[in-house]
C-alpha cells in the first residue's frame, strides 16, 4: 500500500488508495510499516501503536479524502469521500441517508446535507456495522433521524470486537484493532430481520438483507423508481474488497450477492459501491468474475494443503494485480482474505 500522500499532496484517487483499510481488516499493519514505527533518535524502535492509535489513524486517513458530489437522479445524490459513499434521497418527505462517513467528517457531511435544502432528516440507513458506515449515527439521530439497519448491525455494534493483524510491530507485539461496544446513541433505533420497505418522496426503497458476505449484517438499498442500488461494502468497484471473517464474511457470499444484484440491474442501473467510483452492471460483472477466479485459485491451493502464507508465496493473482491490486487491499492481503473466508 502506497504512502506517498504522507509526504506530498496527491490526487483524491491516490489519497483513497493510500487510506486505511476497512474496519476489521486483519491486515491493518500494512498501514504502519516498520520504517514509520521506528524512532528517529538513536535508531531504536518505538512500541507498536495502540489499537486506539491505529483506529484514530484510520479515521484521520479516511477524513483526508475530499467529498465529491454526484447527482444520480432528480432527488438522489451521492457523496463520495471520507469513508466510502453516502447516498441521499431528498424531498418534501425528508432526507433519507444511506451510510455516514467517518466521525471526523461530520462537519463536512452536515454541510453537504444542508446544501440539499431544508427538508428534515428522517432516516439513516446503515448498510452494515463497520465504523466508516456508522460513525455519524449519533449526530444524525440527534438531528432528528431514525437510524435503521439489519438486526445484526445492532448486535455487532453492541459487542466488543478484537481484530488481530498478521503482523508484529517493531517491539514484537502483535498489532490490532479493538472496538468497544458502540454507545447507545450510535445504535440503530429500528431494525429488521429480512427485508424492509420505505415509501418517500415518490420513491420506493427496498432494503434487503443478504446471507453473510462482507459481514453478517449486510443489506443493499434499491431505489426502485430511480433505478439506483446502494450496495455498501458488498461491492468494491475496481479493487480487491475486504471481507470480514470476524463477523461472518465469506467470499462465496460476496459472489452470491453480486449474482443477486446483477439479476436486478439493467444496463442503465447506477450501482453505488461502498468504495470506488459509481458503478454499473458491467463493473459489477467484472468484480463478480474476479471474485470467482480468486475463490477458485485459492481453494485449489488450500485443498492441496497449502497454508495461507504458502498460498501468498504462490502469487496466484499475479495476472489480476494490475487491474485490481491498486486499491485499498493489495495482492498478498487479498490471498489471505480469500483463504480465511472460504
In this structure, of 5-19, 42-56, 141-155, 312-326, the range with the lowest mean pLDDT score is 5-19
pLDDT band for position 176 (cuts 50, 70, 90): low
Helix or strand or coil: residue 300?
A: helix
pLDDT band for position 328 (cuts 50, 70, 90): confident
Q: What is the DSSP letter of 268?
A: T
Spell out a b/e string for 167-205, using b for 16 or more CB atoms within 10 Å of the CB, else e.
bebbeeeebbbebeebeeebbbbebbeeebebebbebeb
Q: What is the DSSP letter of 96?
A: E
Q: For residue 16, what pLDDT is reported?
A: 34
C-alpha angle 306/312/314, rounded to 5°?
75
Element (H, E) at 147: strand 146-150
**Better pLDDT: 177 or 339:** 339
Q: 111 Cβ partners below 8 Å, 6+ apart?
A: none
User: Cell digits for 25?
Assistant: 481488516
Q: 196 Cβ partners below 8 Å, 6+ apart?
A: 148, 207
Whole-number Å distance between alpha carbons of 19 and 1: 9
Q: What is the pLDDT of residues 20-42, one digit of tens each?
A: 333 333 334 333 333 333 333 34
Among residues 133, 77, 129, the alpha carbon closest in space to that of 102 is found at 133
pLDDT band for position 51 (cuts 50, 70, 90): confident
Q: For residue 177, what pLDDT is reported?
A: 72
Whole-number Å distance between alpha carbons of 19 and 27: 13
**Contact predicate 63/82, CB 8 Å:** yes
pLDDT band for position 326 (cuts 50, 70, 90): very high
Whole-number Å distance between alpha carbons of 128 and 233: 8
Whole-number Å distance between alpha carbons of 208 and 261: 11
pLDDT band for position 162 (cuts 50, 70, 90): confident
Q: Indicate if the pLDDT at residue 325 is higher than 60.
A: yes
Judging by DSSP bridges, how do beta strands 228-230 and 270-272 pair with one another? parallel
What's the mean pLDDT when you consider all of the chain? Answer: 86
Q: 178 Cβ partners below 8 Å, 6+ apart?
A: 51, 52, 55, 160, 161, 162, 163
Q: For residue 37, what pLDDT is reported?
A: 32
Residue 171's alpha-carbon distances to 39, 174, 188, in angstroms, are 12, 9, 39
The predicted model gives 128-152 an average pLDDT of: 97
Q: For residue 46, what pLDDT is reported?
A: 53
Amino acid at each position: 500500500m502506497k504512502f506517498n500522500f504522507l509526504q506530498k499532496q496527491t490526487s483524491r484517487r491516490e489519497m483513497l488508495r493510500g487510506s486505511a483499510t476497512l474496519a476489521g481488516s486483519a491486515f491493518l499493519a500494512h498501514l504502519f510499516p516498520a520504517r514509520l514505527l521506528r524512532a528517529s533518535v538513536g535508531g531504536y524502535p518505538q512500541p507498536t501503536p495502540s489499537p486506539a492509535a491505529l483506529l484514530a489513524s484510520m479515521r484521520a486517513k479516511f477524513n483526508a479524502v475530499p467529498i465529491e458530489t454526484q447527482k444520480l437522479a432528480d432527488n438522489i445524490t451521492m457523496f463520495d469521500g471520507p469513508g466510502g459513499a453516502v447516498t441521499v434521497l431528498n424531498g418534501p418527505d425528508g432526507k433519507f441517508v444511506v451510510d455516514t462517513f467517518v466521525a471526523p467528517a461530520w462537519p463536512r457531511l452536515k454541510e453537504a446535507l444542508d446544501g440539499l435544502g431544508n427538508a428534515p432528516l428522517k432516516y439513516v440507513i446503515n448498510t452494515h456495522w463497520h465504523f466508516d458506515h456508522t460513525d455519524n449515527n449519533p449526530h444524525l439521530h440527534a438531528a432528528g433521524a431514525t437510524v435503521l439497519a439489519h438486526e445484526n448491525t445492532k448486535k455487532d455494534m453492541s459487542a466488543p470486537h478484537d481484530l488481530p493483524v498478521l503482523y508484529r510491530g517493531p517491539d514484537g507485539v502483535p498489532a490490532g484493532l479493538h472496538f468497544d461496544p458502540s454507545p447507545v446513541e450510535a445504535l440503530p433505533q429500528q431494525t429488521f430481520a429480512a427485508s424492509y420497505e420505505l415509501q418517500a418522496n415518490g420513491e420506493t426503497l427496498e432494503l434487503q438483507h443478504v446471507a453473510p458476505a462482507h459481514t453478517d449484517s449486510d443489506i443493499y438499498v434499491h431505489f426502485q423508481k430511480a433505478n439506483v442500488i446502494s450496495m455498501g461494502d458488498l461491492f468494491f468497484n475496481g479493487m480487491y474488497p475486504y471481507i470480514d471473517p470476524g463477523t461472518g464474511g465469506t467470499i462465496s457470499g460476496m459472489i452470491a450477492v453480486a449474482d443477486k444484484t446483477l439479476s436486478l440491474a439493467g444496463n442503465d442501473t447506477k450501482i453505488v459501491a461502498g468504495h470506488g467510483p459509481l458503478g454499473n452492471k458491467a463493473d459489477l460483472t467484472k468484480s463478480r468474475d474476479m471474485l470467482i477466479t480468486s475463490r477458485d485459485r485459492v481453494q485449489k491451493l488450500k485443498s492441496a494443503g497449502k497454508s495461507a502464507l504458502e498460498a501468498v508465496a504462490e502469487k496466484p493473482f499475479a495476472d489480476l494485480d494490475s487491474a485490481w491490486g491498486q486499491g485499498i487491499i493489495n495482492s498478498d492481503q487479498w490471498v489471505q482474505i480469500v483463504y480465511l473466508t472460504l
